[in-house]
Every structure is written in structure tokens, then in C-alpha cells.
Homo-oligomer: A and B are copies of this chain.
Amino acid sequence: MSEPINIAFLGLGVMGGPIAGHLARAGHSVTVYNRTAAKASAWLDRHQRDGLAVAMAETPADAARGKDVVLSCVGNDADLAEVLFGAQGAVAELCPGALFIDHTTVSPETARQVAKATSARGVLAVDAPVSGGQSGAEAGALSIMCGGKDDALAAARPIMDAYAARIVHVGGPGAGQGAKAVNQICIAGILGGLAEGLRFAQQAGLDTDKVFEAVSGGAAQSWQMVNRWDTMTRNEFDFGFAIDWMRKDLDIALTEARAHGISLPVTALVDQFYASVQAKGGGRQDTSALIRHLPDGSST
């Protein structure tokens, strides 16, 4: 374990709440901020009961003031801009030598801008989007893809060790977000194929358990197949990583691609199919609900 550090944590959502908890349990002194204060109070109660060194603040600025390390895990680019650069934003309070780690999935471009703005203040910054989902956050076993300078990573690693199963330093500022975009692009294609494969099996009257047994061990295998085939066959989608989040991430990928002259036809197509599932009310369902866009034989 690392030396106890004075930490601020901004954003106590599905991912941020558990991460902040791991930091407190690691012995750090953690001051949390959440837009909806009730969530911060509840978090505080829970962790104070365990005798941990925790506090809460009313604004990002208040939370960040005088801290050695500030972390954030909010929703999207605009949200990050608000907690960092808004009227009560944290950046103005960051002192030279402080470290800023962002776990939000935002665009590489935003990450590069944040790195520039913090660097101008002598602050080290790491863009550090995660994968592993809610369960990974709770278990403290996230995969973290990092962008930033070497010294920023060196400073961030011991902090993130409290909740990471894997930390990869991908490259300079924005590279963590770039890797996350790659991750989401790959998933879009995988689910595009998986949805069609399973629907084909169902509509062709095949035993889907047997098909899984037959195809899951070879060249068609994927994490999504191993972990979602079963729930998909049962039309269970109310868990996991939400389509609304996925579309945000695919928008990031498509926008970055546009800037770099990269063509992403499969990704763009799957993204539009997700729009169809959103239109059916599936926005908060797991990304595997993509299959709902394919006709299932119940003529409508």
C-alpha cells in the first residue's frame, strides 16, 4: 500500500462511488463531491461507519482545494468540462505538483485539452478510462487504459492500484481515450455479428445451447459470446453497460475518426441500429440488446 494521500473524488455514480470507496479503504483521506448531494451524503455515511477518513464538499472547487490528487468519473465531455472548468470548477484549485486522474470516457481531444490546461498549471494529468463495468469497479478489478506523460503515470499507478486489475500506459495525453475508442469499436462489431448469429440460430430453429457449445470454443469466440449468449437467448437486458453510454462512446469514436480521416462503416451502422433499440425504449439496457433490432418472427 501507498502512503496516505489527500484525495478529492468528483462524481459518485455507478463507477465513481465504488472507486472512491476503494481509495478510502486503501487508507487515503478522501473528500467527495457529487452534483446530487444526497448521493454524496449516503456515500459519506456508509464510509464513515467503517471509520474511514472521508469528507464531502459542496463544489468541485471546494473538494479539490489543497488536495494532492484529484480524480473524476462523471458522464461525458460536457460534464467533465463543467466540473473542471465551470464556475465552481476544480482546475482553479489545482496546485503545481498535484495529480489529476480522469476516469470518465471522453474524447481523446477533450483529454488532450485537459492535459494542456492542467500542464499549464504544473499539474500532472492522466486520462484513464476504464473497462470492467460496475462489477469490476465494485470488485476493485478494473482494466485502466492510460494516456499521459511518464511522470504522471508513475504518480498515478500507486493510487489506481487500489482498484485496478490491469493498468496499461498506452501513450501520451489522449492515448487512454484512444484505446477506449478502439475497445468500443471492437465491441460494436462483435455484438453486430453475435446478434445476427444468435437470431439466425433462433429463427432457423436450432437449439441455441447446442449451438453455443459448438461455436464458443473456436474462431468465433468472444468475451461477449461467452458472457452474453445466454442472457440474450432469454431476452434479459436489464443490466450491464447501457446502450445510451455506448452511443456516447461510439459518437466519440466516430467524431475522432472524422477528424483523422478514418472510415468506420460497421461501427457507424451498428450505432444506427442502437438508435432503433433506443427508439424501442432500450436505451438503458445492456449493449447486447442490439439483437432487439433484428426481427424475431413475432410479426409486428
Contacts and interface: CB of A to CB of B under 8 A. Distances in A.
Interface of A: 108, 131-133, 143, 145, 166, 168-171, 175-176, 178-179, 181-201, 203-204, 206-207, 210-211, 213-215, 217-225, 227, 241, 247, 251, 253, 256-258, 260-273, 275-276, 278-281, 294-295, 297, 299-300
A288 to B, nearest CB: 10
A211 to B, nearest CB: 5
A280 B266 contact: no
Contact of A196 (B176, B185, B203): B185
Contacts of A175: 206-207, 210
Question: Quick one: copies of this chain in the complex?
Answer: 4
B262 A265 contact: no
Given A166-B217, A223-B219, A281-B299, A260 B179 contact: no
15 contacts: A145-B214, A166-B214, A179-B210, A183-B214, A189-B189, A190-B190, A190-B220, A196-B267, A199-B263, A200-B253, A218-B223, A219-B224, A262-B275, A266-B269, A279-B295
A211 B143 CA distance: 12
Given A171-B206, A192-B266, A217 B295 contact: no
A205 B281 CA distance: 20
A270 B196 CA distance: 12
Contacts of A256: 200, 204
